[in-house]
Structure 1
Amino acid sequence: MTDLPPRPFAVDHPDVLDLEVAALETRPGAVLLAQSPFYPGGGGQLPDRGSLAWNGVVRDVIGFEPTAAGLWHLFGDDAVPTGAITLRVDPAFRQRMCEQHTVAHLVNSAVYTLFDGALLTGVRMTDSDEFSVDFDLPKVAPEQLRAVEDAVNAAISDDRPVRAFDMPYDDAQATAGLFRAKSVAPPRQANGLIRIVDIEALDRQACGGTHLISTAKARRVRILKVDNKGRQNRRFRIGLGSD
């Protein structure tokens, strides 16, 4: 039996925001569920926000503990859930995470293409209309910055479908360009596969987060600033919905 947590339900069903499930196990302030619409966080993406309810009791979910059996949902007091559990994800927050994650892939694709395969060093999604993506780059010229921004906005205007599929982990490792981070990668799943996110005719890379169904669902972006975070690290600060 594997000790790896199962892939989050939200990754394959990002449109499911309400779900009624039975508890596998409970303890004061927490409930273990085999299936949940909540994304627990990871890869720079923040955990979902929302609530759980049982027998007329409603609590905000404040954290998660992934296990091989399922996902513990924490709600911060001593209540013990009983009966069917109703889960509700905050739709506005989920939309924001999907948008930022999809735009991060577009930025990654543009930088990877325009800077000869420059690798990702970090992503920091936020609960605002600004977030950041870091790359292993020594410098960025103003004209290169404009080229990245133009490429991202062109991809948004093109309305490219965003899909995902699984492939053997070892095959993915042997395929150039599917792993884009300098030091980390989505983990091998218990079945030996890895999830690949495909932006039609533009980009493919390993990823374990939630996304929009098409690039046109994202707002246009501006690269607000590029910060120097070390000799070989540049932080692209991205603004969503900027004119």
Structure 2
Amino acid sequence: MTRYFCLDEPEVFELETAVTAAEPGRVRLDRSPFYPGGGGQLADRGRLHWSGGEVAITGFETQADGIWHLLAEPVVPSGAVVAQVDRPFRQLMRELHTDLHIVNALVYQGFDGALVTGVQMNEDGTARIDFDLPEADNERLRGLEGAINDVIRQDLPVLETYVTEDEAFDEPGLIRSRSVTPPPTADGRIRVVEIAGLDRQACGGTHLSATGASRPLRILKIDNKGRHNRRLRIGLEGA
């Protein structure tokens, strides 16, 4: 993958850029502030403004020639444009993704290195995360809610770095998913997200700069999904 602008500049929600290719209803941009989705995180939403008007962005297509931005109307913008990210929606995804890392860390540490088997974040402020936990006690899992919210209250810094693919696979616990590994950047590196003093794992999504920027979290439900999968459903308070 390329290094997304939104990962290097997570607080930039409006960006002046230029159209590099356009067809009715879709464009490529010289630089884009949008996260195109992946790893269970929904893609950003937003708008494109130019001298001839404005249009909503409805999705993204990643192709060999770059990321195409799909537009709500069959317009063909050209020249200079302003790309504007839906800030509240991005914030929601950042909260959920950071909180899922907290959940992941506490389950990994407390349940013998259990691996993730699936993740999905939702626009209503809820999310699910599945673990390979065939023998886990559901009440013990539910009891993690207090520890999760304690991490949020501690306002721990959330940092990022990049390591080589070899380093990523050599470091125990850095790859947490049973089936998915974040794709390397063009220069062959893996992005690592660290919650200071708690967790360190490979990830390609957007996160908060500190855990305290999240609302409190509730564990809504725990389901048994098949012989091995245990599903935790979580929700942000007030979402």
Task: Establish whether TM, by shorter chain, passes 0.5.
Answer: yes
Q: Which residue of 2 aligns with 1:72?
A: 68
Alignment of 1:162-201 (within 5 A): 162-201=158-197
Q: Which residue of 2 aligns with 1:105?
A: 101
What is the CA–CA distance in structure 1 between the aligned matches of 2:200 and 2:164, rounded to whole Å? Answer: 15
What is the CA–CA distance in structure 1 between the aligned matches of 2:89 and 2:95, rounded to whole Å? Answer: 10
Q: In the TM superposition, what is the alpha-carbon distance from 1:14 to its structure 2 partner?
A: 1.5
Q: 1:126 aligns with which of 122, 125, 129?
A: 122
Q: Confirm whether residue 219 of structure 1 aligns to residue 215 of structure 2.
A: yes
Deviating more after overlay: 121-130 vs 60-69: 60-69
What is the CA–CA distance in structure 1 between the aligned matches of 2:19 and 2:58, rounded to whole Å? Answer: 17
Q: Which residue of 1 aligns with 2:229?
A: 233
Q: Confirm whether residue 12 of structure 1 aligns to residue 1 of structure 2.
A: no
How many residue pairs were aligned? 238
TM-score by length of structure 2 reads 0.95
What is the CA–CA distance in structure 2 between the aligned matches of 1:86 and 1:68, rounded to whole Å? Answer: 24
What is the CA–CA distance in structure 2 between the aligned matches of 1:126 and 1:146, rounded to whole Å? Answer: 20
- Report the secondary structure of 2:227's partner residue: coil
Gap regions ≥5 residues in structure 2:
none
What is the CA–CA distance in structure 1 between the aligned matches of 2:56 and 2:69, rounded to whole Å? Answer: 10
Is contact 1:145-1:223 (8 Å) kept?
no
Q: In the TM superposition, what is the alpha-carbon distance from 1:138 to its structure 2 partner?
A: 1.0
Is contact 1:195-1:208 (8 Å) kept?
yes
Q: In the TM superposition, what is the alpha-carbon distance from 1:7 to its structure 2 partner?
A: 2.2
Is contact 2:52-2:77 (8 Å) kept?
no
Give RMSD over aligned pairs.
1.3
Q: In the TM superposition, what is the alpha-carbon distance from 1:17 to its structure 2 partner?
A: 0.6
The alignment-based identity, stated in percent, is 52
Q: Confirm whether residue 23 of structure 1 aligns to residue 19 of structure 2.
A: yes
Please tell me the residue identity of whatever aligns with 1:78: P
What is the CA–CA distance in structure 1 between the aligned matches of 2:107 and 2:35, rounded to whole Å? Answer: 27
Q: In the TM superposition, what is the alpha-carbon distance from 1:143 to its structure 2 partner?
A: 4.1
What is the CA–CA distance in structure 1 between the aligned matches of 2:28 and 2:41, rounded to whole Å? Answer: 22
Gap regions ≥5 residues in structure 1:
none
Is contact 1:114-1:148 (8 Å) kept?
no
TM-score by length of structure 1 reads 0.94
